A and B are shown apart, each in its own frame.
Chain A
Amino acid sequence: MRYHAKVNGAAPLKIPERYVISLTVAYALTTFALSFYPTSGLDLYVSLYIVEYFILTLLHSPFNPKAQKTVNIIGYALFGIFVVIVTMKVLEILVGVSFL
């Protein structure tokens, strides 16, 4: 037979499903690990979530164009939050006053 027909017994996970599961597992493990350190502030959790978001999004892209557009918007918003956190940390070091 010239053309090979591939038959799937069990359907493998699609990329969007893999992406959501990876993100969920990453966030759960991060939260669990950092919860053992009582001195961890909310900014540390959020910073790590944002980094994990960018890494996993890059690993699973490209998505459908409509989905990609919204994923990019979420990325811009999270990047904005990350910049705010970093700015506040820098100001804390320079000025000596804690904003978070």
Chain B
Amino acid sequence: MKTIRNSFTLLGLCLTLAGLSLSLISYVILQSTPLTALGFSTVILSGVSLALGKGQPKIPPEASAILLQSGVENVSAIVEELGLKAKAVYVPSSMTAGKPQALIPLHSNPHPPQLENIILPKRLIVKHGPDAEDLGLLVTTPGSAVAGMVTAKTDATEGDLETAVTLVLVGTINLADGIRVTKEEGLIRVEISNPRLEYRKMWVYESLGSPFASIVASVVAEVLDKPIAVEREEYSKGKCVITLKLTGRLP
């Protein structure tokens, strides 16, 4: 028999049993309306618990953190060895023929590169432009895995972006309490309420931005189907504001 490890699923099964028993006994034997109603409410709660149990992660968060940490440290070591400090550009999956990734240019430039309308190959070092120096590192980020949950919508409004980022950051990985998105003159401002993530400062975050910025940029790039760069991040008590910039795609 398969062991039930998920607490929500176990709770749901116990409540189903309790609710059905209480409803039947109260209705048939006791003939008590409040107790029958209580049994019915218990059955609804059991359904909700079973539903939430389906959405629980299959591996513990601590194990996920270990896997993520080792991956990020490897990328950070490569980026540090190459001495890269240029800001990464987050490209959507339509430009990588796979999942959303981040392109770190090998040459520092105050402005993010204007990417051609090409599909970047599945390699670590890729050519993203016509010039000889248009080379960059194409890396997978924390946002690469979660951005696959959203669908592209090129004319996405602030509300669409807010819904997509909320679905990922709040609904799926539960790292924040609320999201607010505003658009202004080529910039997208994402306000995260009560962000919850502990991380060590690493070299690669100078290029990629913090894990929050990485996830948000990946999601926004995927929804808009356009390359995005992290302009800046501001942290205050209970709030994190990430400003993203549309870098555009050359036709």
Who on chain B is nearest to A39 by CB? B33
Please classify how large the interface on chain B is, using the bins under 10, 10 to 19, 20 to 34, 35 or more.
Answer: 35 or more
Chain A positions 18 through 50: 1 when the CB is less than 8 Å from some CB of chain B, otherwise 0: 011001100100110011000011100110010
Total residue contacts A-B, CB cutoff 8 A:
113
Output the least CB separation between A72 and chain B (Å): 9
A12: Cβ under 8 A from any B Cβ:
yes
Please classify how large the interface on chain A is, using the bins under 10, 10 to 19, 20 to 34, 35 or more.
Answer: 35 or more
Task: Check A42–B45 contact: CB distance below 8 A.
Answer: no
Task: Check B55–A23 contact: CB distance below 8 A.
Answer: no
Output the least CB separation between B235 and chain A (Å): 4
Q: Which residues of B contact A45 (CB under 8 A)?
A: 33-34, 37, 40-41
B135: Cβ under 8 A from any A Cβ:
no
B83-91, B94-102, B153-161, B194-202 - interface stretch: B194-202
Per DSSP, are chain B's interface residues mostly helix, strand or loop, or mixed? Answer: helix
Task: Check B197–A6 contact: CB distance below 8 A.
Answer: yes
Who on chain B is nearest to A8 by CB? B196
Task: Check B41–A31 contact: CB distance below 8 A.
Answer: yes
A70: Cβ under 8 A from any B Cβ:
yes
Task: Check B54–A70 contact: CB distance below 8 A.
Answer: yes
Q: Which interface residue of B37, B174, B210 has the most chain A CB atoms within 10 A? A: B37
Cα of A24 to Cα of B38 in the assembled complex, Å: 10
Task: Check B171–A20 contact: CB distance below 8 A.
Answer: no
Task: Check B48–A19 contact: CB distance below 8 A.
Answer: yes
Q: Which residues of B contact A46 (CB under 8 A)?
A: 37, 40
Contacting A78 at CB < 8 Å: which of B44, B170, B199? B44
> Which residue numbers of B lie inside 8 Å of A, CB to CB?
8, 11, 33-34, 36-38, 40-41, 44-45, 47-52, 54-56, 149, 163, 166-167, 170-172, 174, 194-201, 205, 210, 233, 235, 240
